[in-house]
Chains A and B, each alone.
Chain A
């Protein structure tokens, strides 16, 4: 049989089979399983068929709960049906999983196993999700490698049809789902041979049909439910045999043999580790290495975890085994042990008790945890476990991979234990997300995997930022199959694609002695040495590195693709690594370029070819001196004045050494300090805005739209300028309300991402040179030192007294301190200006419930978080529960605060005598409708606390604990459109209908931004998105109008750039409305395919075209016209707006005729909506004009 090989990642390997063997695929995006759905959708969109010649229907649902419901229904309809999911998504499927298994409906759920959110969310891999489903009745089949994912996807499909027991086929999120490896592709004839026609027809014939009607889903009573539940037992008894038979059949067809439990190691092993998932790779390497040294160890790879066949397990276990260590990649706090451990223990006990074992003394069993949230799991750690197993009293319930200095569970790895073969090429590439390093590395794996007999593996590590993100690509090449399921620790080739990393990261820590070091350097071979830090020089000398430089940016620029250094550096890697002869390597790179970029056109190809050809000419070896002489040193990542926690904990994470933090360094309940982004100086901008006060018109638009609070306005008494740095700029503040004041617009030079949005919106242009504005982008390098000093001084100037500010004006709002700053959101993010504005207006009394999504990632992803505090230590308190429950979560907070407030008021009344009549009445009757009122109440609460502190009573102590609730707390429920329109819509609707005083801010990017651009019900007609590759043909849901139907909800639709003042007023009105409020905020996004620098201009055109009408619906209005249209009649067409955004324009290119039709429909829809709004407003208009510049 011809062996067709391919380099795939785990997701593609699974989806390939799922798409070939199913008729219906119901999906919902969730990391790290989303690519399985995306592949399937793309394949069906391109007309790829399953093995029966039909194109599978791929349907995106509103949640995983919905997807599982659709799967359930489709199975009842007799179709072969599948889904893909992970983590919380799998948990949302649990109710249907019980049903599907209870009804013996054959299906396979492919799961990229991921941590379930507990004390924190994590997108990375472990088995906590899969383990949470083990009581559903689904069989559970674990794949340990990419090849196994591919193979088991088919075996599972065959087995479920034969046994009727549905299967969860799982593999480790990221480690397996995203690893690229060279595998053999299963030919269609093998797939066909595995898919038993009789079993498929039997499934089809069980479909619901009026032709032979039956009833399923009865309600049963105590008399029969129990018996009926036991009726399925024979199927579960037979299921392991069906699974094994499918494996055996597969082995006959492909030669790849698997068993329910596979043993590897010494036939006479005394110690055996039992585990499942990718960790098997690391254990097998350790086993081979230890046995080669004369030890007797082995490992059982668990394939079929459910149903658990003790008989098969015992058969796999050497009879010589004295100690078994069972490793679980999950944690069950409070349990006797983790699930696999408990099952093995119980199984052995049963067999022993039944006399079905050959041992005189049963083996000792210990259990441990490893690899939670993709924590590294290495052969050295495995060796540590085998060492522990030799002890008389080995540690039970241990952990590996961490240092547990609290409860002492951890085992240490064996230092220096390295199992990787000498001849294997190991290469590590440090890059930026934006420079294409990962893409080129993936291409390198494919080039070598597909054009040489060598095996190839690629794994890619990303940091948690959405802008300026660092990526590390780990590539291995070798003659033997590569099952090293851990990161490279000793690399023979290290490439640093960004020169600035040398100052910040320990790039060469991974380089082994004699390794090759390739640096993308603006400095040539003769001058680079003095430009790198002394610490790096010393590493190069100590490790005897061969040091090369290439000016990748220069080569790329000359090739006509500025910034795209990936091709250049990839060519240098091939030239230096010698894996392929140079000429062949160049030829293969060019072929790969054609494959990757050919679809974009000839000019793209030619430029890449030019980069390849230009790279080698500019690659130079550096002569390495014998001593480190540089005057430069690595940067201190966190300043000395940072708080203790930041110094002790955050700093290590920033250095990329968070793995070294012990358990004791971690909060026990997931509670972290806010205001930490200010300690992380990222310096990622190439250009930063510099203010020219001479032409500034005081409009504050720059500060308003800055996504990162990196350009700020402050109004202050000029007396504070006495100690100002010489370069600090200031000008007179032109205002009647605050006469005699000065103002400054100041950039935070190390925090700015350089997006340029501030310059785009700046309306002040020089009379002499029109392109010179009041803010202009200037080189970061030229200005950072000066502006650092200026920004520090700026921060030292006291904030404006909030009670003196007109907070319902744009300028007033921007005089207030932002309490959301320097987030890791995308450069030019359209969401964050709204959150920042919210924190300026109400941040000192706000609690945020944040739906999972972009805003929870840039809002709460470690190492540093952007919600900040003012000088009094007040600021937003923030929490994230889930994706689907955010409205309910926020409402819960409101209920709690109302309860506290009620209790506080009751106690104030009760203690009026002790507190004093005037203070008590003041506290109870306080008008907190403006900043002055809130300030006054804070003073009263402080007085109350002073009094209570000296009163010795239970009431006093209780009142003291809830006194803060007497100050208005503003509850904000924040999330994206995926939450509000889709998965959380039911809850949102309920909370809005509750009448409770909560404020909802929907950051509407019209697409699932965080998971990579999948369509939501907010995605507009005609837009291209994942799961809507041919352009969405259904219009966007009018969420605002739905909410308005209740009549008692404040609703606003805003776009901050299109109408600044309307946005500010909407926030003020929403917050002051004593009931539910909903603000839907237009948020441009990189998923729109626009240049984010001009994002605010796009936003403005969205409004001008009527695509995004602005309105406010305020039930308080007494003129019987609560609905006000705030935008003017459309002045440009939808097409004029849409042509400038790739999400729309792409369809014009790929399918012009469909685009024409959808664009016409979109225009009609806009016209109809506008007409409806006009009628709704009864022609009452409220055009809020821009504030005049100055006075």
Chain B
């Protein structure tokens, strides 16, 4: 008997819970089609960065007009006037439309705004373009030592409320793990109107080039060990918030996806594995995931979902402090 792999995420009924998350490859229509062919139940498009759009618009204007009207022999500047500079969200919105037209699965748009008006207007445009749901990729580095944690949290919540009010499609929020009280924050996010939360965002981290003594931003692909952090928080939150839970970071294999579901995720999101092995690797993940459930005689994903969450685990403390002790025991062979 085949396992019922279906799951519900943000109110969307998905064929199974392994979802390609936002990345550069989901920005290409041909790859999206390949992902669908490989069995993707939904796709999350790469994030639209308002800051980048604004920067590019300013740059295009600056460069197109650079040194124009300053020298009699080059009054019109140094570049031909283009019909369209393709700045703004146009190409992103077109990607949503194209994806909707080409695919039969839900398309989730992702937004990283930098201004309240930007969050609002881009969210609405994404909905109008046909997105089935919206993922808010909120990325705030709270560098101001005078800003309290509460103030930072309030910025998150304001943005969520703004977007919630401007669109009627489901809204999920992707956050990082750096809150004093992740569980409390997720509750507030839920209260602000979000339909789901994605744990966790992997931020671009600076590196240092020792030859040039410069700071170099670097994005490293995740590795499987990173699964453990979101796994814990999914397990801890399952059943405590009335919204969808998505696990992101570190899902590299079918067993990683199984772990995500067992701890309580509605979906397991994966990127790095697809970047490493190609879109078709998704089919391998799905097969492995399905096989595991079948081999272990589960009848459905719903049955397995949260079966090892804090609430359901035989050893609930394992997800909190006890986990620490257990780890030490493993290495030392005796309790400390």
**Pairwise interchain contact B87-A471, C-beta atoms closer than 8 A:** no
Q: B80 at the A/B interface (Cβ < 8 Å)? A: yes
Tell whether A469 pairs with B71 under 8 Å between CB atoms, given A46-B83, A603-B57, A1149-B60.
yes
**Pairwise interchain contact A1010-B61, C-beta atoms closer than 8 A:** no
Q: A226 at the A/B interface (Cβ < 8 Å)? A: no
Tell whether A765 pairs with B213 under 8 Å between CB atoms, given A597-B61, A1026-B79, A1089-B78.
yes
The distance in angstroms between the C-alpha atoms of A1028 and B79, with both chains bound, is 10
Tell whether A434 pairs with B70 under 8 Å between CB atoms, given A41-B80, A600-B57, A1087-B78.
yes
Question: Which A residues are CB-close (under 8 A) to B79?
Answer: 1013, 1024-1026, 1087, 1089, 1142-1143, 1146
Tell whether A432 pairs with B70 under 8 Å between CB atoms, given A601-B88, A1089-B63, A1149-B87.
yes
Give min CB distance, A773 to chain B, whole Å: 11
Contact of B58 among A439, A464, A604 (CB under 8 A): A604
**Pairwise interchain contact B80-A1086, C-beta atoms closer than 8 A:** no
Q: B288 at the A/B interface (Cβ < 8 Å)? A: no
- The size class of the interface chain B forms with chain A is 35 or more
Residues 185-224 of B contacting A (Cβ, < 8 Å): 213
Contact of A460 among B57, B65, B75 (CB under 8 A): B75
Residues 120-174 of B contacting A (Cβ, < 8 Å): none
Q: A826 at the A/B interface (Cβ < 8 Å)? A: yes
Question: Which B residues are CB-close (under 8 A) to A600?
Answer: 57-58, 60-61, 64, 85, 87
Tell whether A439 pairs with B73 under 8 Å between CB atoms, given A45-B80, A600-B87.
no
Q: A672 at the A/B interface (Cβ < 8 Å)? A: no
The distance in angstroms between the C-alpha atoms of A469 and B71, with both chains bound, is 7
Residues 1009-1029 of A contacting B (Cβ, < 8 Å): 1009-1013, 1024-1029
**Pairwise interchain contact A38-B76, C-beta atoms closer than 8 A:** yes
Contact with A along B72-104 (1 / 0, CB 8 A): 111111111111111110000000000000000
Main secondary structure of the interface of A (DSSP, over half): mixed
Contact with B along A1152-1167 (1 / 0, CB 8 A): 0000000000000000
The distance in angstroms between the C-alpha atoms of A670 and B235, with both chains bound, is 87
The distance in angstroms between the C-alpha atoms of A31 and B71, with both chains bound, is 11
**Pairwise interchain contact A1086-B73, C-beta atoms closer than 8 A:** no
Question: Which A residues are CB-close (under 8 A) to B88?
Answer: 601-602
Q: A438 at the A/B interface (Cβ < 8 Å)? A: yes
The distance in angstroms between the C-alpha atoms of A597 and B65, with both chains bound, is 10
Question: Which B residues are CB-close (under 8 A) to A1035?
Answer: none
Give min CB distance, B43 to chain A, whole Å: 20
Contact of B73 among A123, A561, A1029 (CB under 8 A): A123
**Pairwise interchain contact B72-A599, C-beta atoms closer than 8 A:** no
The distance in angstroms between the C-alpha atoms of A770 and B78, with both chains bound, is 36
The distance in angstroms between the C-alpha atoms of A1089 and B104, with both chains bound, is 42
Tell whether A466 pairs with B64 under 8 Å between CB atoms, given A42-B81, A599-B85, A1026-B80.
no
Q: A436 at the A/B interface (Cβ < 8 Å)? A: yes
Give the nearest-CB partner of B73 in chain A: A31
Main secondary structure of the interface of B (DSSP, over half): loop
Q: A1111 at the A/B interface (Cβ < 8 Å)? A: no
The distance in angstroms between the C-alpha atoms of A174 and B73, with both chains bound, is 10
Give min CB distance, B91 to chain A, whole Å: 8
Contact with B along A1077-1117 (1 / 0, CB 8 A): 00000000011010000000000000000000000000000
Contact of A433 among B63, B64, B71, B86 (CB under 8 A): B71
**Pairwise interchain contact B53-A469, C-beta atoms closer than 8 A:** no
Question: Which B residues are CB-close (under 8 A) to A1029?
Answer: 80, 82
**Pairwise interchain contact B85-A1150, C-beta atoms closer than 8 A:** yes
**Pairwise interchain contact A1150-B82, C-beta atoms closer than 8 A:** yes
**Pairwise interchain contact B85-A602, C-beta atoms closer than 8 A:** no
**Pairwise interchain contact B84-A599, C-beta atoms closer than 8 A:** yes
**Pairwise interchain contact A603-B58, C-beta atoms closer than 8 A:** yes
Question: Which B residues are CB-close (under 8 A) to A464?
Answer: 72
Give min CB distance, A560 to chain B, whole Å: 8
Question: Which B residues are CB-close (under 8 A) to A1028?
Answer: 80
The distance in angstroms between the C-alpha atoms of A1146 and B85, with both chains bound, is 8
**Pairwise interchain contact B85-A1149, C-beta atoms closer than 8 A:** yes
Give the nearest-CB partner of B64 in chain A: A600
Give the nearest-CB partner of B117 in chain A: A606
Residues 1112-1155 of A contacting B (Cβ, < 8 Å): 1142-1143, 1146, 1149-1150
Question: Which A residues are CB-close (under 8 A) to B72?
Answer: 31-32, 123, 174, 462, 464
**Pairwise interchain contact B82-A439, C-beta atoms closer than 8 A:** no
The distance in angstroms between the C-alpha atoms of A765 and B214, with both chains bound, is 11
Question: Which A residues are CB-close (under 8 A) to B65?
Answer: 436, 439
**Pairwise interchain contact B87-A601, C-beta atoms closer than 8 A:** yes
Tell whether A1025 pairs with B80 under 8 Å between CB atoms, given A433-B67, A601-B57, A1089-B66.
yes
Question: Which B residues are CB-close (under 8 A) to A1012?
Answer: 73-78
Residues 785-826 of A contacting B (Cβ, < 8 Å): 826
**Pairwise interchain contact A602-B75, C-beta atoms closer than 8 A:** no
**Pairwise interchain contact A1086-B66, C-beta atoms closer than 8 A:** yes
Contact with B along A449-474 (1 / 0, CB 8 A): 00000000000101011100101000
The distance in angstroms between the C-alpha atoms of A269 and B188, with both chains bound, is 92
The distance in angstroms between the C-alpha atoms of A1027 and B81, with both chains bound, is 11
Contact with B along A758-786 (1 / 0, CB 8 A): 00000001000010000000000000000
| Max count, chain A CB within 10 A of own CB: residue among B64, B79, B86 | B79
The distance in angstroms between the C-alpha atoms of A46 and B53, with both chains bound, is 25
| Max count, chain A CB within 10 A of own CB: residue among B53, B79, B80, B82 | B80
Question: Which B residues are CB-close (under 8 A) to A432?
Answer: 70
| Max count, chain B CB within 10 A of own CB: residue among A35, A439, A460 | A439
Residues 17-54 of A contacting B (Cβ, < 8 Å): 31-32, 34-35, 38, 41-42, 45-46
The distance in angstroms between the C-alpha atoms of A604 and B213, with both chains bound, is 35
Q: A905 at the A/B interface (Cβ < 8 Å)? A: no
Question: Which B residues are CB-close (under 8 A) to A329?
Answer: none
The distance in angstroms between the C-alpha atoms of A526 and B109, with both chains bound, is 54
The distance in angstroms between the C-alpha atoms of A1025 and B79, with both chains bound, is 6
**Pairwise interchain contact A601-B78, C-beta atoms closer than 8 A:** no
The distance in angstroms between the C-alpha atoms of A734 and B86, with both chains bound, is 54
Question: Which A residues are CB-close (under 8 A) to B77?
Answer: 1012-1013
Question: Which B residues are CB-close (under 8 A) to A945?
Answer: none
**Pairwise interchain contact A1010-B73, C-beta atoms closer than 8 A:** yes
Give the nearest-CB partner of A1089 in chain B: B63
Residues 228-269 of B contacting A (Cβ, < 8 Å): none
**Pairwise interchain contact B80-A466, C-beta atoms closer than 8 A:** no
**Pairwise interchain contact A462-B61, C-beta atoms closer than 8 A:** no
Question: Which A residues are CB-close (under 8 A) to B83?
Answer: 45-46, 1150
The distance in angstroms between the C-alpha atoms of A1024 and B82, with both chains bound, is 10
Question: Which A residues are CB-close (under 8 A) to B6?
Answer: none
Question: Which A residues are CB-close (under 8 A) to B64?
Answer: 600, 1142, 1146
Contact with A along B18-60 (1 / 0, CB 8 A): 0000000000000000000000000000000000011011111
Residues 423-461 of A contacting B (Cβ, < 8 Å): 432-434, 436-439, 442, 460
The distance in angstroms between the C-alpha atoms of A970 and B322, with both chains bound, is 85
Question: Which A residues are CB-close (under 8 A) to B274?
Answer: none
Give min CB distance, B309 to chain A, whole Å: 44
Tell whether A603 pairs with B54 under 8 Å between CB atoms, given A432-B70, A1013-B79, A1087-B78.
yes
A interface list, Cβ under 8 A from B: 31-32, 34-35, 38, 41-42, 45-46, 123, 174, 178, 432-434, 436-439, 442, 460, 462, 464-466, 469, 471, 561, 597, 599-604, 607, 765, 770, 826, 857, 1007, 1009-1013, 1024-1029, 1086-1087, 1089, 1142-1143, 1146, 1149-1150
B interface list, Cβ under 8 A from A: 53-54, 56-61, 63-88, 213
Kindly list the 4 A-B residue pairs having the minimum CB-CB distance in the complex, ordered from nearest: A433-B70, A601-B57, A1012-B74, A1013-B78
20 A-B contacts (beta carbon < 8 Å): A34-B73, A42-B80, A45-B80, A174-B72, A433-B70, A434-B67, A436-B65, A439-B68, A462-B71, A466-B70, A471-B69, A600-B64, A601-B56, A601-B88, A603-B57, A1009-B78, A1013-B74, A1026-B78, A1149-B56, A1149-B60
Known: A31-B72, A1011-B73, A1150-B85. 5 other contacts (CB 8 A): A42-B80, A438-B75, A439-B65, A1146-B85, A1149-B60
